[in-house]
Amino acid sequence: MKKLLFLLSAVVIVSCKNDKDENLSEAEQVQSDSTTNVEEIEFKQVDSKMINNDSLWKPFEADLSEFSTEVYEEVKALVFEKSIPEIQEVIASDKLTYEELALFYLTRIKEYDRENELSLNSVISLNPDLIKEAREKDEQKGKTENQHPIFGIPVLLKDNINTSGVPTTAGSVALKDNETQDAFIVERLKENGALILGKANLSEWANFFCEGCPNGFSTMGGQTLNPYGRKIHDTGGSSSGSGVAVAANLAPVAVGSETSGSILSPSSSNSVVGLKPTIGVLSRGGIVPISSTLDTPGPITKSVIDNAILLDAMAGVDKADPASTNSGEQKTVYYANLEKGTLKGKRFGAIKSLMEDTLYVRAINDLKNSGAEIIEFEAEEIDLPNFLRLLNLDMKKDLPAYLKNYGGDVAYKNVQDVIAYNEKDSVNRAPYGQALFLGIVKDSATEKDFTAIKDTLKTNGTRFFEKPMTEYKLDAVLSINNYHAGYAAVAKYPAITVPMGYTSENQPKGLTFIGKPFSEEKLLQTAYIFEKTTKRRKTPEDYNE
């Protein structure tokens, strides 16, 4: 049986490590999902050595001391596992305030995220002005017309997204003092009334730093852990903290970023909804990069409606980002037409080599029962040559550009400077080494060769989807988790993953829909129907209090 075509050695070690061992056949991978081996993963380091809990919580001490257990339980009954529209409904009816909403999530973060037997290490920093800003939202509530649904909702941001008031570290000690202005998408969130809750932990430098290091580890944030199997199941990466925090109800919604699988992987690994948009739908301005060719931010949420709302709240044309400018103004209000979608007559391609996965087969039957047509096809064997080199060559020029144009007052100009800083105290600054950074420095190519690498990857990735989609007139291709994220990345195709169930060891899996560029509205409608008819997501047991 063919190997999963995404599992190419170059792709496995990039911004998101794939969920499976690249040397396993699909049959072996399916079998590995049904074993009873639930031994704990051994990590070099779990807790952060850099986060000072006293400093983290000092701005909130007085307000949290007045937020009693009784009030917490009252708020929990109103908002726990609820969608943004449901939360806004109870706030509109004056049963809840935005301040109480913010305090609820702060209480959960304090309870579940650091230095106890249930800690998840999903949050790196908190917005010290959160409560003040929440009170301002309460004062503004209902006083302006057409308030966006994101108004007053706390949003957690992956810690490679520039945010004023808290450092943007990319998980690296080297950037611990990287105080910046807001990224473009953060400006958009604030313009639409969102509250910035804080920053989420991530795989350091978005999983393009160390080789063989676990998903979800950063020297700033420590080791993020999966709430469905703490120290047992992988968190996925690199947007690990974003996926984990949303899954455990430490934040209502979060923002991640993806180069190749970094939204799809942690979303599917933590039983939440993750969307990797077409490159250009959301600005990359002010986000610590890997690849200006492939990078994009995207929403991570518990429900599809929340995903559409968060996507809409970040959208806009950023004149400083060529991809954003070239994508044109997207007129769609992503959350407005979810109910108008239908699966009747829709044609989805199911990859035959995945059909031994029972959760995948069940999900396909769910789609059939909702009126969809399923066409099984053999995925073509297509290489993605020089994928790693694309990332090396992009990062080599894109990181200096970020530091110059968007970075704070830090003493680095390029990758080599960061390597040199880490080498002065590698035990604390790079406990798993920095092999991928070293690879960036060693790599080089002429502009002609670099262009050829990008063109070949784009052509090959597009062919992987375009050939079956054209031949069978498909609306989308169905995958699992981030298995085909590498192809979607280089083809610049959007993808959304939705919870489709759990293995016998309670390991979450997601059904992933991959569509043509700028088909986000259709993907969201399809995912919404699948979610509504299956309702596969369940709250992680230990985080239900």
Active-site residue, from 15, 238, 240, 265: 238
Q: Which residues contact 362 (CB under 8 A, 6 or more apart)?
A: 500, 501
Q: Spell out the SS3 assignment of 180-248.
A: CCCCHHHHHHHHCCCEEEEEECCCHHHHCCCCCCCCCEECCCEECCCCCCCCCCCCCCCCHHHHHHHHC
Q: How far apart, in whole angstroms, are the C-alpha atoms of residue 412 and residue 469?
A: 46
Q: Which residues, listed in sequence order, are joined to residue 375 by a DSSP beta bridge? A: 349
Q: Spell out the SS3 assignment of 493-528.
A: CCEEEEEEEECCCCCEEEEEEECCCCCHHHHHHHHH
Residue 203 is among the residues annotated as catalytic for this protein: no
Active-site residue, from 260, 262, 269, 303: 262
Active-site residue, from 20, 82, 158, 454: 158
Q: How far apart, in whole angstroms, are the C-alpha atoms of residue 261 and residue 259?
A: 6
Q: How far apart, in whole angstroms, are the C-alpha atoms of residue 50 and residue 480?
A: 36
Q: How many CB atoms lie within 10 A of CB 506?
A: 16
Q: What distance lies between CA 467 and its chain's CA centroid?
A: 28
Residue 238 is among the residues annotated as catalytic for this protein: yes
| Exposed / middle / buried, residue 326 (Cβ in 10 Å: 0-12, 13-18, 19+) | exposed
For residue 250 the two structure tokens come to: 């430490």
Please, where are the H alpha helices in 9-121? 9-12, 26-32, 53-57, 61-65, 69-79, 84-92, 98-112
| Cα 245–Cα 268–Cα 104 angle in degrees, nearest 5 | 20
Q: How far apart, in whole angstroms, are the C-alpha atoms of residue 204 and residue 45?
A: 13
Residue 176 is among the residues annotated as catalytic for this protein: no
Give the count of alpha carbons within 13 A of 360, CB side only: 23
Phi, psi of 349 (to 5 degrees): -95, 120
Among candidate residues 446, 479, 475, 280, the one with its CA nearest the CA of residue 364: 479
Q: How far apart, in whole angstroms, are the C-alpha atoms of residue 60 and residue 439?
A: 43
Which residues have a catalytic role annotated? 158, 238, 262
